[in-house]
Amino acid sequence: MRIGVLGAGQLGRMLALSGYPLAKTFVFYDMSGSPSAGLGEVMIDREGQYLDDFISRVDRVTYEFEHLPVEVAERIARERPVHPSPRALQVCQNREAEKTLFGELGIPTPEWKIVDSAEALQAAAEELGCPVVAKTNTEGYDGKGQAVLRSPEDAVDAWASINHPRLIVEKFVDFRREVSIIAVRSETGDLAFYPMAENTHHQGILRYSIAPAPRLEKHVQEDAERYIKALLNELGYVGVLTLELFETAEGLVANEMAPRVHNSGHWTIEGAMTSQFENHIRAVSGHPLGNVAPRGVSCMINIIGEHGEIDRILELPYAHVHLYNKGERPGRKLGHINILADSYEELVWRVKNCAQFLPGCPEFQSSLASKG
């Protein structure tokens, strides 16, 4: 089976690496002009001139990045199966549509408003009560295109700094920690849910993910599964879906969803019986889903900006290094490391031991580290 992938970054690279053992071949369709997949067949088409050629080379199509023209996915879907559906792509590209869908499905969200001017932003901040977070309604990821308003008077500066014609304004959530759930749905409607991960961000970028999330009450995992199941079924979804959430004293509050394999699921490569990448390939290819049970406890550490002392890390018997074949640049995701352990206590020690070899890596912060 020939699988077409819209986008050609590290997520596509890892999808292909998991698909080759299942005898899949891959064609990447890159509209950015700067692909980094480094394997398979890559078609660079910034002007959209070779889409028909791409379609002719593939049997099924998926995507590794949601910020691409929905009309391209819709055009392909007229001739080839596209998983997840173009509707999922459309919803995830528009925060207003996403939050509206969450509300319709009974998924809790922060209070929010849409604004289209600095004056409207100030009024929304006053009505919701500061602090609030203002984000671009479309585009924006890894902390880009957003600002925190500590008072309504911050509106003018925030509007200018974001520089986008339409913003969503959300009341700040008083959360204990950030978590995510990754689930996969097959063509026949079968579902599998990975254990939830606890996520730590630094400067808007994910740095650490621990899975299964420590000290997670059973009902919290069940709530997350119920929310993501509603999304999967409503969208007629096929493939991996990620739902990012805040855990609060009152329960879970949804932040956003991603219609693809996700950074907070990289731990599954070594840390689960079947990785998120393999399960996505299984789903979009029409195969049965794989076992999602964890292999002990895991932590994923992102390599950001500089590679650091990779050889020192490779000497650690519990560390699994994944490099994306990218050049160093501030804020750029260059790879990740999966740390496995038999206990959380052992995991904390191993993560701290590994992180010392990554320049600029923030100190390991988690619900585990905070308890000593």
Binding-site positions for ATP: 95, 135, 140-146, 170-173, 178, 201, 255-256
CA distance 161 to 132: 15
- Residue 60 has φ and ψ, to the nearest 5°, of -140, 160
- Known binding-site residues equal 95, 135, 140-146, 170-173, 178, 201, 255-256
* Helix intervals (H) in 140-198: 155-162
* Sole residue written with tokens 């500061």: 130
**DSSP of 22-77:** GT-EEEEEESSS-----SSEEEE-TTS-SHHHHHHT-SEEEES-S-S-HHHHHHHH
Which residues, 6+ apart, have CB-to-CB distance to 325 below 8 Å?
13, 36, 38
First to last CA, the chain: 50
Residue entry with tokens 């819209």: 6
Buried b (16+ CB within 10 A) or exposed e, 148-173: ebeebebbeebbeebebeebbbbbbb
Write the CB contacts of 16 (distance below 8 Å, at least 6 apart in sequence). Answer: 5, 24, 26, 37, 39, 40
Residue 226, judged by CB atoms within 10 A of its CB (0-12, 13-18, 19+), counts as middle
Residue 120 phi, psi dihedral angles, 5° rounding: -65, -35
